[in-house]
Amino acid sequence: MVLKLSDSENLRYLTLALLVLLFLVAVSGQTATAWGRGMMQGGFLLVLGVAMWTVRKHRWLFRSGLGALAVLALVTLVSYAFSYTGLRVAQLGLLLGLFGGLAWLAFKEVLFTAGPINSNRLLGAVSIYLLLGLIWAVVYVGILEVDPAAFRGSGGGPWLESFPEFVYFSFVSLTTLGYGDISPATPIARFVVYLEAILGQLYLAIMVAGLVGIGISDRITNRSD
């Protein structure tokens, strides 16, 4: 089934918003201040806002996304008032669902939309890769919330404080660089880490093969016309 999110530029905007978010995450980690963490949360809202804009013509997606955003905002406000692990885990669960939904929609747009390979499609492939790194970063800080001893080399603390270093760790694992400054210390953490490394390699192979197939199919179609 082919799904068009909104227009021919939608994934360019999403990729740009994700890059801005990653920069704000780095700023938050560099400053280690409340305003830095506030900027990072603003980045989350930016990405999710762009996502809502891209699906505005699909009412059920738009309404579902707005509902999830409203719940996320409510949980975030409550978590500021009450420092409770369950609330922080719920917050991470909502982020995980939103990022996962975005990645799936972008994947369908890139590989299952008719048309030639253009910059929007290529940037969509980039946005999926960035979303995979963010999804695993959310999983890592979720594990850390439940088990503070799950990773060696981490400063620990609430997820907003540790998220920047786990975004870094996630992309290092996704690209199989493995610097070793942060490492998993429990079996579950190790499982999640090597699963990300496997997925990172599979994604590149599947995406390249898919884009090559689309390119060949488009050329054959143009010749037959």
* Alpha carbon distance 76, 159 (integer Å): 12
Tens digit of pLDDT for each residue in 50-73?
777 776 666 776 777 777 777 777
How far lies 210's CA from each of 21, 177, 201, 203, in Å?
A: 28, 25, 14, 10
> Residue 65 corresponds to which tokens in the numbers above?
């996304």
Residue 190 has pLDDT above 90, yes or no: yes
- Indicate the domain borders of the chain: 10-224
| pLDDT > 90: percent of the chain | 25
Residue 194's nearest CA partner among 205, 181, 183, 209 is: 183
Residue 184 has pLDDT above 90, yes or no: yes
Select the more confidently predicted residue: 127 or 35: 127
Find which of 79-88, 158-167, 180-189 is predicted with most confidence, using mean pLDDT.
180-189
Average pLDDT on 202-208 reads 90
Average pLDDT on 208-217 reads 83
In this structure, how many other beta carbons lie within 10 angstroms of the beta carbon of residue 20? Answer: 15
Residue 153 has pLDDT above 50, yes or no: yes
Q: At the top level of CATH, which class does the domain 10-224 belong to?
A: mainly alpha
